Every structure is written in C-alpha cells, then in structure tokens.
Amino acid sequence: MASTMETSLVARALTMAIGRRHPPPGLLHHSDRGSQYASQTYQALLQRHHMIGSMSRRGNCWDNAVVERVFRSVKHEGLGDTAKEQPSETVKSTVIDYMEMFYNSHRLHSTLGYLSPNAVEAQAQGLTPQPVGTRGGDLSMPDEEIVR
C-alpha cells in the first residue's frame, strides 16, 4: 500500500502474489485500464510468468464489479469509519490483517458458491489453503527484485 499508485507498486504486488500463490501458466489476470497495468514493465511481468492480461472496457465499471465489491468490504468491514483519522501504517496493518486473517479465509461469497476465496483456490488447484492467521509479505522489496 502507498499514497500513490505507480507501476513499481503494482508490479511489486504482482511479484509478491506470484511468489506466494505460484499461479499456473495461462492464468487470466484482469485489471482496470490504469496506466500502471498497461505499462511495459507490468505487461512484461505478466508475459514472463505466462499470464494472460485482460482489461476492463473503457468506461464500464461492471467489468470489475467483483473487485469493486472487495474494496467495499475492506472499507466497510475491515476499516470502518475511523480509517481517515488513523496513521497510514495503522490503516495498512488493518487492511493486511483483514484480508489475510478474515476475508480470504473466512468471508463467504455468493459469486464463489458461498465459499471463501481460499477454499475456491484450494479446490481449483488441489491445494491446502494457508492456515488462518498467517501474514503476507510486504511490498518493500526493491524495484530490481520485480523483474526476474
């Protein structure tokens, strides 16, 4: 998380996700049309890891409706009304805890057949979900670590 959304931030996030989840070749990676996701650096990272990039149609928020719902859940369930008064490090820690310790492992979704994201991933890949309460890595890796 950062105060600005630059290519290096989203590339580090994708690199972290790839390292943690080891997606299979051909994974469909959907994003909005932000310049960070359209950048040569980000597109090269997708290609290097054999991912298929997909972007929302211009001006069509419905293409990304599920992700927008995730953001709503983070804002209303994870952060509550006090986020604006909290230091950025507190907000960052709260979001990470919410996503890792509740949302991915416990929150049920109608679009996922009333399963959690971790349960769906485990079914799809034949994996055992990560134990509840584990924390993810951070996005503080140097930029040169992004492009391997």
- Vertex 43: Cα angle to 37 and 44 (nearest 5): 145
pLDDT at 144 over 80: no
The CATH number of the domain where 36 resides is what? Answer: 3.30.420.10
pTM (2 d.p.): 0.68
- Any domain includes 128: yes
- Any domain includes 29: yes
The residue segments making up the domain with residue 97 are 7-145
pLDDT computed for residue 63 by the predictor: 81
- Any domain includes 86: yes
Give the count of domains, the chain: 1
Cβ neighbours, 10 Å, residue 116: 19
Whether 125 contacts 24, CB under 8 Å: yes
Rounded Cα–Cα distance for residues 67 and 113 (Å) = 16
- Any domain includes 2: no
Handedness of CA 99, 101, 103, 104 (dihedral sign): positive
- Any domain includes 112: yes
pLDDT, tens digit, for every residue of 56-110?
888 887 887 888 888 888 888 888 877 788 888 898 899 989 998 999 999 998 8
pLDDT computed for residue 148 by the predictor: 40
Rounded Cα–Cα distance for residues 103 and 78 (Å) = 9
